Amino acid sequence: MKIFVTAKPNARERSVEKNDETSYAVSVKEPPVPSRVKIVSGWTSRQKTLEIF
C-alpha cells in the first residue's frame, strides 16, 4: 500500500487530515522514529510517498 503525505514540520499542534483515499496532510513536532513505514520518495521534500509494510 502506498500513501502520499504532505508533511508540515515544526507545527504548533499535531494533526492528520485526510485529503482523499491515499493522500494526507500531517503536522508534526517530533523527529522521525524508525518504524514499519518506508519513505519511497521525497526524503527531503514536504511531499512524500510512503510504503506501509
DSSP labels, 1-53: -EEEEEEETT-SS-EEEEEETTEEEEE--SPP---SEEEEE-SSSSEEEEEE-
pLDDT at res. 32 = 64
pLDDT (tens digit per residue) in 1-53: 888 888 888 888 999 999 999 999 999 887 666 677 788 998 888 888 888 77
Gap between the Cα atoms of 2 and 5, Å rounded:
10
The answer to whether the predicted template modeling score (pTM) of the entire model surpasses 0.85 is no
pLDDT at res. 15 = 96
